[in-house]
Amino acid sequence: MALTGLVLAGFVLGHMTGNLLMFKSSEAINAYAAWLHANKGLLWGARTVLILSTFAHIWVGIQLALENRAARDGGPADDATRRATIASRTMPYSGVVILGFAIFHLLHFTFRTIALGGATFAEGDVYKMLIAGFSCKPVAYFYIISMLLLCLHLSHGVSSVFQTLGLRNERWRSRLDGLALAYAWIIALGFISIPLAVLTGCLK
């Protein structure tokens, strides 16, 4: 779980960093996209690792959820259960929504099987594609809500990685939990800034 969590947490950081080139210029984000497509071996290698990590993460998550439920049934609440946060209790549900969002996001922007509001733009013009996609308010709102749930998911997930690696003891627990929460908010706000900028007309 720790390894897959690290891979996915690293991916969202890299993906967000690339997306933020939207605020630099249309040329910057388009050049970044062109570079990715020009390096198809690297791109598909990363996608393969990401897909395998996602399925492994889902499988391990299901197993942990079942084990936790079995441990709670018929027994007194242990210390971990009493200290469970909203993020930890909602991990299965936020995970399902995030997975659904990821599938929609791929169909929308990568495979383009979902219409982008009738907008026309040249092949490879990622800047205009994102503007067109987020100009649709339901899509932008769904994106924003999903990123807030990602924040919730990451805050517990990253904290759990620290625990799995044996770093989160009683002395460091609050500091590492704070670091995990800060990371989660940085990721979420970085992603959310783009649809918000489109909706408010800052990006057009």
What's the N-to-C CA distance of the chain in angstroms?
Answer: 40
| Angle, vertex CA 143, rays to CA 151 and CA 176, nearest 5 | 10
User: What is the C-alpha separation between 55 and 24, in angstroms, rounded?
Assistant: 34
8 Å CB contact between 183 and 154: yes
Predicted TM-score of the model (pTM):
0.86
Average pLDDT in the chain: 86
Per-residue pLDDT tens digits for 90-139: 888 888 999 999 999 999 888 888 776 666 677 789 999 999 999 999 99
Report angle CA 203, 8, 86 to the nearest 5 degrees.
Answer: 85
Q: Do you know the residue count of the chain?
A: 204
Report the sign of the C-alpha dihedral through residues 167, 170, 175, 178, in that order. positive
Distance (Å, whole) CA 180 – CA 160: 9
Residues 131 and 198: beta-carbon distance below 8 Å: yes
Identify the band that residue 163 occupies on the pLDDT scale cut at 50, 70 and 90. Answer: confident
> How far is 53 from 65, CA to CA, in rounded Å?
18
Residue 149's identity, in one-letter code, is L
The token duo for 106 is 């791929």
Report helix, strand or coil for 168. coil
Q: Which residue has the higher pLDDT, 129 or 85?
A: 129
Contacts of residue 132, Cβ cutoff 8 Å, sequence gap at least 6: 116, 117, 119, 121
Q: Tell me, what's the pLDDT at 84?
A: 66
